[in-house]
A and B are shown apart, each in its own frame.
Chain A
Amino acid sequence: MIRSEVLRDIAPILRDQLVVCNIGLPSQELHMIDDQPTNFYMLGTMGLASSIGLGLALAQPKKVITIDGDGSVLTNLGTLPTIANNVADNFILLIIDNGSYGSTGDQPTYAGKKTSLSAVATACGCDNVVECQAEDTPAVLQAALDSDRMTVIVCKCDSGNIKLPVITKDPVVIRDRFMTAVQS
């Protein structure tokens, strides 16, 4: 399974949650599969989806799911100690780990080689780290939501992309629509 198939599988679970979605193809895929006002699409700033999600979870009580990538987490590896030490039980970090920088042409990442992001997250002090195979992601994500505990999920999937249009929504519209959904 590739990332877009994982997103299709979890879209019914994401639909009712606040979602912060990583830059590039993940946001474009989620936008195409099931655009919701509860989705915050990152149009730039690689690496910060997990930081934005944590800040959002700490600031208000609704559950927040950040959809991140292995390459983006590697870009902002300092995020994992911050997450571990600022526990927000309404926060789930879902790292879709396809072992490649998908949006830039599937160059391999170190997460697809010797580096285990679930081991890194555990070493950083994250208490609930679950590594799963792509097809198990819906069940693992639903269990994390039901647990009411901050969880880091590392979903191992295949690399590969589908052809998609870029998101042309104005960023201030995305942000305003999202903030209205947060407050509703």
Chain B
Amino acid sequence: MSINKKIVDDLVANDIEFVTTVPCKQLAGVIDEVEARPEIYHIPSNKEDEGMGLCAGAFMGGKRPAIIMQNTAIGVTINTLVTLIQFYRMPLPMLISFRGELKEPVACQVEMAVHTKALLSQLNIPTYHFHKQQDAEELDAILKYTFMCNKPVAILTDATFWGGY
């Protein structure tokens, strides 16, 4: 089974029916898989904070949401994570492409990578890092944990996890 299919199978198995995405080259396959699934309403957003607003609304409407985005989005969404998702205590799994790690070809991505875990830690956001493909075996448990505690939870997926460039 492809890793993209495994990831989206876990989303569906956890009743996630509303997924917003902002693209990243590493996430292209998983975004295609989200788009292909009839169980999921896929709504591309233009910016990640907009996407988190959509997810907050979907959650209050009774649908479990998720956001798929790049780690640069942590810089974009700190205010939204703190004043919307955390302040109103809402669950939000964030599947994040961890650009700027080993095998990264674009130097500028490293500038955000060095801040990513520190920012997530400062925000008290539970954070998991998928480096090898078998790390994704924990995804199901991470999703259950997210909807148990009603928090934003970060799943960082690096280039080695995705099979490099």
Using a CB–CB cutoff of 8 Å, the interface residues on chain A facing chain B are: 20, 40, 42-45, 47-60, 76, 78-79, 81-82, 86, 171-172, 174-175, 178-179, 182-183
Contact = CB atoms under 8 A, between A and B. Distances in A.
A174 B82 CA distance: 16
Interface of B: 18, 41, 43-47, 49-63, 65, 79-80, 82-84, 87-90
A45 B54 contact: no
Instruction: Tell which of B45, B60, B87 has the most Cβ of chain A within 10 Å.
Output: B60
A51 B48 CA distance: 11
A60 B61 CA distance: 5
Contact of A59 (B45, B46, B61): B61
Given A55-B55, A58-B58, A171-B88, A78 B83 contact: no
Given A48-B84, A86-B43, A175 B60 contact: yes
Nearest to A181: B60
Given A172-B89, A182-B60, 20 more contacts: A20-B57, A44-B84, A45-B49, A45-B53, A45-B83, A48-B49, A51-B50, A51-B53, A51-B57, A54-B54, A54-B57, A56-B60, A57-B61, A58-B43, A59-B62, A60-B62, A172-B88, A175-B89, A175-B90, A183-B62
Nearest to B90: A175
A100 B100 CA distance: 41
Nearest to B82: A44
